Chains A and B, each alone.
Chain A
């Protein structure tokens, strides 16, 4: 069964600092998604990574995918308070019909 693990689960960081969230998954997949969720809200799509070596950047966030290592990273550069949210990765295991979500990383950026 496909498992998706994120670390850390909780992250408290100062504004202006850099940090990386890791997403490991247990089976072959070449499609991975990153979402942001604010408290009580739905999922906001951040990145769609569709092939090995894919790298995408939007503002202070950059995501990458290494399908051989079964690893995706979400890098935060010079964090600001507005980035405080929970971040989920989700894997679409080829041949199945569902997203498997990671455990989520709750990010709090301190002013």
Chain B
């Protein structure tokens, strides 16, 4: 059984640029959730995708967007990067549209300069 994988591991971008982060869900899981974890804080829910549709969103602006593909992998896109977007981005996969136990990937560390 393959666990949740994310790419890239680390990323450095400049303010105003755009970034795409990728996540492959655990085998058999059809739901992916994305979280942002700023340094010293707990993870904050960004949004969730279930069967290629957005299935709930946290308090993040529209410049945070996502996609889920037929194989249930997912992308997180952030436009017009700001310094405060620097964080660890975690994706988690689960089975089913409602929230159940989520399995977290290793994360992508994004630094915006």
A contact residues vs B (CB 8 Å cutoff): 31, 33, 35, 40-43, 45, 48, 88, 90, 92, 96-104
Contact = CB atoms under 8 A, between A and B. Distances in A.
B56 A98 contact: yes
A45 B106 contact: no
A33 B102 CA distance: 10
B90 A97 contact: no
B90 A42 contact: yes
Contact of B56 (A97, A102, A103, A104): A97
A35 B102 CA distance: 11
B6 to A, nearest CB: 9
B107 interface: yes
Given A43-B90, A98-B33, A103 B42 contact: yes
A99 B106 contact: no
Interface string B45-78: 1001000000110100000000000000000000
A92 B56 CA distance: 13
Contacts of A104: 41-42
Contacts of B90: 42-43
Interface string B83-113: 0000010101000011111111111010000
A43 B104 CA distance: 6
Nearest to B4: A42
B99 A102 contact: no
Nearest to A6: B42
A78 B103 CA distance: 29
Contact of B105 (A42, A101, A102): A42
